[in-house]
Chain A
Amino acid sequence: MIKRRVLLYYLCIFLLLFGCADPKILERISLAVLIGYDVESADKVTATVALRSVNQELQSIVSIASQTDETSKGTRIKASLDSTKKIVAGQARVILLGSKLAEAGITQALHTTKMNSEMSSGLYFAIVDGEAGPLIERKYENISDIGQHIFYLLEHNIEEQYTVSSTLHETVRDSYSPFIDLALPLIVQDEDDVHISGLAIFNGDKMVGKLVGNEPFYVVLVKEKYNAGSIQVIIPGAPLKKLSNDIPDQLAIAIDSIFSNRKVKLVNKDTPEFELDIKVEGRVLEIHSSITTEDFNVMEILEKEVEKEFKKEIDKIIKKTQELNSDILGFGEVYKANVGTKNVDKKKWKELYPKIKVNANITVELLRNGVFD
């Protein structure tokens, strides 16, 4: 009994001594919401941070700090000298990397972020087409909080599957895998606005190119499943000419509520050759008024044309990534799964990828159209 009591005293003393945790009281810290990294010179990095803190007038204010040093922690220490409050990174939502830094390699930036236990694994990575610093520092007319703005911009587009998801978790996972390359959202500053322009694609940890316009849609189509995507494609009007003379040469058709399913199969290990089956179901939302969507035959023609367009685009993207040797679609993972890790490594796959052959079979089914039918 006495022994137990003594043990209890020791436990109390132990807890009290080791316990003094470092408090970070919410209103007494500056929260870094958005962090941007750029290369300054050979081994120096510039960190630009959008900080959110609260002042005595009960207002939440956003300030920008920018410092250059060898390590990102070094920049933080330097920035701290300018700040009245302690700067913490745990509420960071987005990390932006300048394209110069991305072309030089993002391993260091990824590693720093991953090492920091404060950082949420749900924060987003994005590449800036240009420099991250000026994008953050600029005073925008309609954007009061650039950190929140970019976070919402990415979050909403990722949720709607307009672009690929690029959380810290997924980015680190993809960068560790030797058989898949990174694709990160590409953000561009356009006059007084910021928007997503497409995808930055990587070979290893270096950015090698970008996909713009409609292309991210097809990347998601091949890589993931759509739950409720939407796309506008332009198909030639020629096959439908016989129905009506009003039909233009180029026919725009908007499809939404896209559900897709994809299957990748390795059919030939030597070439290597892949069979890519994609099944798309969707709803015609908008089409030229002269087309009668009630007609079964018309819908069939439309489906055929959309399939052709999809296939064309997917082939184009695969060809482009092969030229850049950037396997963002993850064929390497399928190949590895089939031949085993012993028979393929990163170097060998990098040699193989430009040579792979992909037969894309796309089935498009337009289930409904609009509200009338």
Chain B
Amino acid sequence: MATFMSMRFTSCKLCGHPVRRGIVNVSKLSKRYKATKLKQADTLVWEPVIGLEIHAQIAANAKLFSGASSQYGGAVNTQVSFLDSALPGTLPVLNKRCVEAGVTTAIALGCTINKVSRFDRKHYFYADLPAGYQITQQNHALANNGEFKYFVYGKYETDCVEKSARILQLQLEQDSGKSLHDDIAGRSLIDLNRAGCALMEIVTAPDFHTGSDAKSFVRDIKMLLVTLGTCDGKMSEGSMRVDANISVHKPGQPLGVRSEVKNLNSLTSVKKAIDYEIERQISVLENGGEVINETRSFDVDTGETLPMRDKELKQDYRFMPEPNLPPLRLYYTTDKSPSGTQQRVYVDILEKEIPMLPRDKRNYLIEKYGLNSYRANFIVNALAVELFDDLVKGKNIKSFSDFLMHQFLNLISQRDLTVAESNVMSSDIDKLYEWYQHRELSLENIQKIVTGLIEKQGASAREIAETLDLWQINDEKYLTDLCKQIIEENPKHVAKYKRGKKRALDRLIGQAKQKSNGKADLSTVNDILIKMMKTGAE
């Protein structure tokens, strides 16, 4: 039985991909894989080059330069200070917490921290930018020259590879407000709650070559920020937004003209927008056209990138130093300058306070449990290290990590949730594993229960199993009858199987699953069917 179970899992070692239910047809997949490879070979003459700008909202109670709340979801225009609405005479006052968050993040990204950085004004007219300029750091940023290692998952767990991207700059800046366009009444409405919230802009070198690279980078850096507590990482709430600079060129030739796709607010959008843009640019160039240096937006519904309106085209931002803020100085406790220590930010103190980073946690899982880097990264990204540590005790590591990955972590990561956010109790996971081990629930139905736990909060695993009538049927008589019926109803597949087409068996098992509403113990069904078809007992 054990061999069978592991065979089932072999066929679904394909993570990082969209929802995959039921039995996966390996041969079909590999065909698709070959097709992609072929397509890649066609376009191999073009090399895409991608750089990212990640705007991460700093987790802080107040905005970067004002005392107004920076909480998400407040009633429209209720979190707006005089400064945020740019009332004449107001002045920015730097929020120390935001500086600390920036420094902490920069340290974790291995950046050089600049002891003196400066703020600049970047000018453009837009209704949700009340001052007519954004305060940012252009030429003298908080930190420069870091590096971040991330994992790119492949088709199989063993394809998982570690890559590295250079961080050019980490700067502090203000967010803008939100414009809401009322097309029917032909007017725009402005919500300034977000105006002035603190952002860390993390600028990478053009070190990516595919949408998948970029997506993986964003996924892992998001986890880093969440671990540090410097950003909540909630992309759906706009806490992290990505701009991608994309160009294509032929290796050995100068870099191509780039376009910038703005405001990508999910991991999927990062990948899709970049891949679309690469293909679009290649097609433009192959057809003798030219790529224009422009700003584009990504349409989530169509999966296309579109040029933004004229006024948002590249413009001269007329940068100027912000005259109302003195240079931002950072200190080390060893610095000699005794007076006025209260408002100072000490780099070395922040460095000591940095918690265990994702990369440390990953190494811990790899070293302690022998997990592969894919699984280690996946568990870390779901914030499931503690859960794994707790539950794996006394269990077979391989079997339990298989179970945890596929029956739980995949499901929550598809929903962009961490363990804590999923509201699933670790005791429920423990119970489900036990029931699974005792063949009381099928994998199929375990997923239904986990889905239920995530979606119907408050119900226990047992309640859901009872309500939906999901307990596995191991009764030999019932299963034998079921198999008999299936063999009778599918003479074609039986014949195929007998001719040696082993894949036909999967179809028959699929029937058993369907007919029993997922409750039949499929491993027993597998054995019975083979036995029946071997003996010819029809």
Do the two chains bind?
no
| B residues whose Cβ falls under 8 Å from a Cβ of A | none
